[in-house]
Amino acid sequence: MPGRKRIAAIVTEYFAGSHADVIVTKYLKGFPTDDGFQIPRVDLVSMYIDQPTEQDIGHAIAKEHDVPIFPSILTALTLGGEELAVDGVLLIGEHGEYPWNEKEQQLFPRKYFLEQICGVMATSGRSVPVFNDKHLSYNWHDAKWMYDRMSGLEAPLMAGSSLPVCWRKPWLEHEYGSTIDEAVAIGFSGLEIYGFHTLEVLQCMVERRGGGETGVAAVTCLEGDDVWRAAEDGRWSRELAEAACGEIENKPEGRIEDHCSNPAIALIEYRDGLQGAALMLDGYVQDLAYAARVGEGEVVATEFFAQGHGDEDEVGPYGHFAYLSLNIEEMFLTGTATAPVERTLLTTGVLEAMLDSRYEGHRRLETPWLDVRYECREPVPWRPVAPRPTGACLDPWPPT
C-alpha cells in the first residue's frame, strides 16, 4: 500500500513452528493478542531464505501473499535494483544446518547476514531499523561488532528473546530505581538455546534497579551436584529459586533434586554488587520464572509463561511472539527501538562467558569487557494485558 513501510525478511530456514514462521508469518497474516487480532501496519515485500528444505513453508506462504523470494540478501534488500529499497529488516538467523563448535554453540551466520545488510545501507547512504532474533552472535567479538556497526550507521537495532514480553503470573515489574539485592531466573533445556532466554528473563527485570545497568564483573558456570553445594555455601539463594519455582504450575511433586539429575547454573556477579543467577532445571520445569530479594528483604516472584504451539484451537500460534513482533513493528514505524539492544548485547556476552566457564572446567571467569552501561526507562508499548493467554490468542489462526 502506498506510504507504508516496506520490510524485508532475511532468514536461515522457514518451516512450520520455526522462528521465521512465528515472526514473519504474523507480518503476513496478523498478530493475535489478548485484545484481538492486530492487522500489520507495514508491508513485507521481500524474503531471502538461506537454507530451504523439504519442510520449507516459506515459499508457499510467500507465493500466497505475493511476496518475492530473492536469491541473495543484496537483491532482497534492493528488490533487485541498485540501492536499498526497504524500510526495515527482520534478521532471523535461527535453525538450519550450520556447524557447532566444541562449546556446543551452533554457529548461526547472524553477524555475516548483518554485515551484508549494513553494507547495503552504507553504499546506499540510508539506514533503516533491523531486528536480530535471539542473541546477537555466538561470540562477543562479533556481537560487539554488530552493535558498533549499527551505531556507526545510526541505524536502530533491536534484538533478543520474546520472553520479556510474554505473560507473567502474577504480574511483576520492578519500579524504576528499585533496590534489588539478588535475583534468580529459572530455565530449562540446553545451556545455549534456553540459557539465553533465561538470561533475558533475568536481565529485563534487574535492569530497572537503582543506578541502571553497569555491567557484569564475573561469571561462573556450575553443573550437577556442584550446583546444590554452591547453594549450601551461600553462592546463590535456594530460597529465591524455591519462590520462583513455586509460581510455576506445570511441575511434578517433590524436591527439585528428585527430577533434575543434572542442573546447571550461571552465577553472575554484577559490577554494582548485585548477585544474579540463571538456574537451569531441565527435567523439573518446562516454563521460566524469576524471583528477587528487594527493598528491606521482601521476596517477590513470577512465572514467565511462553505460549507453546500445539493444537491452534487450544493454544494458538505462539501468541507471545505476536507481542515481540508488534514491538518490532513499532520500531519500523517510529525509527526508535522499544527495548534497549544493550540488554541483549550484555546477555550475549554473559551467555558466552557461561559456556566458556563450563568448557574451561567450571572456573570463575572475570569479564572486564562486559562493562555494558544503560538505563531502561521507557515502557514497552506492546505487551500482554492478562496473566494467561486469552481472547484472540486462544482462537484459530488466522481468524475466520
Low-confidence stretches of the chain (pLDDT beneath 70):
1-2, 308-317, 391, 394-400
The CATH 3.40.50.720 portion of the chain extends over: 6-164+317-339
Give me the phi and psi of 118, to 5 degrees please: -65, -35
Three cell numbers written together for 204: 529485563
- Please enumerate in sequence order all residues whose Cβ is within 8 A of that of 361, keeping only pairs 6 or more positions apart, or say none: none
| Dist CA 201 CA 179 (whole Å) | 18
| Dist CA 79 CA 69 (whole Å) | 10
pLDDT of residue 38: 92
Nearest to 158 by CA among 344, 31, 334, 348: 344
- Please enumerate in sequence order all residues whose Cβ is within 8 A of that of 356, keeping only pairs 6 or more positions apart, or say none: 103, 365
pLDDT of residue 315: 38
pLDDT of residue 312: 45
How many angstroms separate the Cα of 13 from the Cα of each of 59, 97, 313? 11, 9, 26
| Dist CA 132 CA 113 (whole Å) | 10
| Dist CA 64 CA 312 (whole Å) | 20
pLDDT of residue 387: 79
Give me the phi and psi of 56, to 5 degrees please: -65, 135
How many angstroms separate the Cα of 61 from the Cα of each of 108, 136, 252? 24, 27, 40
| Dist CA 355 CA 105 (whole Å) | 9
| Dist CA 64 CA 44 (whole Å) | 13
Span 167-305: which CATH code?
3.30.360
Residue 334's CB is within 10 A of a number of other CB atoms, namely: 12
Three cell numbers written together for 41: 501496519
Question: What sign results for the dihedral spanned by CA atoms 323, 17, 309, 194?
Answer: negative
Q: Is 169 helix (H, G, I), strand (E, B) or coil?
A: strand
Three cell numbers written together for 200: 533475558
pLDDT of residue 98: 97
Which residue in this structure is represented by grid cell 537451569? 280
Q: Are strands 43-49 and 6-11 parallel, antiparallel or unpaired?
A: parallel
Nearest to 213 by CA among 346, 353, 337: 346
Q: Is 182 helix (H, G, I), strand (E, B) or coil?
A: strand
pLDDT of residue 308: 59
For the domain made up of 6-164+317-339, the CATH class stated in words is alpha beta
The CATH 3.30.360 portion of the chain extends over: 167-305
Which residue in this structure is represented by grid cell 541502571? 212
Strand ranges inside 229-367, DSSP E? 264-270, 275-280, 288-294, 298-305, 365-366
